[in-house]
């Protein structure tokens, strides 16, 4: 597995990381713990060194799984986790909370669950409008000085917020959605990251599964699957967006690859400081995804993809209305 540096920082990771959320949260019932541990360790064996989790995934369960899986190889891997919420009595309600005193409490909990004494990359999961980003960056700066955190990251933050945070504590990476069917970051985010020397970690690089070509207009999701409430996964949107899948399948056939591998190769080709974190619960899909790092798309192929994409209009919002206010702050 090739390595990449996140921006101009010293943080070097595998070209593809593993998004661990789906093992415990968001896409149906949690995977059996031992199966999840085995999958994560299989990723390590195949050269993955970058693992993404968060206290909200479960909540808490995913950090425990990641901690157990990576404890034997802790010094060989990079663990990223996130703070930014408190939870209701039932642990289901998510309340934004990035107050400095809460950040410290959250980090102590994450360290315990991850079975480690430091976090390689600590993200603010979502921008909290009630807490100045300078205060958030200052709190993380203190944790870095104490050795409990190595690098600071933001998630789904807008360009101005990134700049303000970076002025207090250098931001190593931004994590936001980016893929062939969500290219909004190209307008302001990517130029800002390039200017400031910040790495980019795209989540949902496979469009929550849509870009793999396995989702049709007839696909349905259970109430415990986040996609059941996402407008972009409504039957009408799925039908309208099939043209994108047709395009990716055509390119995949030409490159003797799978649609998922093309989607990942396209992201990797956008900049050398981009590190996607596809997630999966299956070893076969893990191996397929990692194959995307071995595919090279040249300039003519990338230009052809851009030209074809320009003719395709993607339908449907990526978040339900109730959650849209949490992104792009």
Parallel, antiparallel, or unpaired: how do β-strands 12-14 and 3-5 relate? antiparallel
Burial class (CB within 10 angstroms; exposed 0-12, middle 13-18, buried 19+) of 282: exposed
Characterise 192 by phi-psi region: left (phi > 0), alpha (psi -120 to 50), beta (else).
Answer: alpha
Helix, strand or coil for residue 172? Answer: strand
Supply angle C-alpha 171, 130, 277, rounded to 5.
Answer: 40
* Cross-strand bridge partners of residue 155: 175
Identify the active-site residue in 27, 57, 123, 178: 57
User: Residue 223: phi, psi to the nearest 5?
Assistant: -65, -20
Any catalytic annotation for residue 57? yes
Per-residue burial over 147-167, b if 16 or more Cβ lie within 10 Å, else e, is ebbbbbbbbbbbbebbeebbe
CA 113 to chain centre: 20
The CB density around residue 33, as the number of other CB atoms within 10 Å, is 15
**Coil/strand/helix, residue 273:** coil
Helix-, strand-, coil-residue percentages of the chain, each rounded to 5: 45, 15, 40
Q: How far is CA 121 from CA 165, 172, 199, 204, in A?
A: 15, 8, 12, 19
What CA–CA distance (Å, rounded) separates 252 from 243? 14
- Give catalytic residues, as residue numbers: 57
């Amino acid at each position: 597995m090739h390595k990449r540096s996140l921006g101009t920082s010293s943080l070097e990771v595998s070209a593809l990381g593993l998004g661990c959320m789906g093992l415990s949260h968001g896409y149906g019932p949690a995977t059996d713990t031992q199966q999840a541990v085995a999958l994560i360790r299989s990723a390590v064996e195949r050269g993955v060194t970058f693992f993404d989790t968060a206290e909200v995934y479960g909540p808490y369960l995913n950090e425990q799984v990641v901690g157990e899986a990576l404890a034997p190889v802790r010094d060989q891997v990079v663990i990223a986790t996130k703070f930014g919420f408190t939870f209701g009595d039932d642990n289901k309600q998510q309340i934004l909370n990035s107050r400095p005193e809460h950040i410290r409490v959250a980090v102590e909990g994450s360290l315990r669950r991850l079975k480690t004494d430091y976090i390689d990359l600590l993200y603010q999961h979502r921008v909290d409008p009630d807490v100045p980003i300078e205060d958030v960056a200052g709190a993380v700066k203190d944790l870095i000085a104490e050795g409990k955190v190595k690098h600071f990251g933001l998630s789904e933050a807008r360009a101005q917020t990134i700049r303000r945070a970076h002025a207090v504590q250098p931001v190593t990476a931004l994590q936001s959605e980016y893929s062939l069917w969500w290219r909004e970051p190209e307008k302001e985010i990517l130029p800002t990251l390039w200017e400031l020397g910040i790495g980019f970690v795209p989540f949902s690089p496979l469009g929550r599964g849509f870009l793999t070509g396995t989702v049709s207009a007839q696909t349905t999701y259970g109430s415990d699957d986040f996609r059941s409430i996402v407008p972009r996964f409504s039957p009408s949107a799925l039908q309208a967006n099939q043209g994108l899948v047709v395009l990716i399948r055509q390119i995949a056939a030409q490159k003797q690859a799978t649609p998922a591998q093309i989607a990942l190769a396209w992201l990797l080709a956008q900049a050398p400081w981009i590190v996607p974190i596809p997630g999966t619960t299956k070893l076969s899909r893990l191996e397929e995804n990692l194959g995307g790092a071995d595919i090279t798309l040249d300039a003519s192929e990338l230009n052809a993809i851009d030209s074809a994409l320009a003719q395709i209009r993607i339908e449907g919002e990526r978040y339900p209305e109730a959650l849209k206010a949490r992104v792009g702050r």
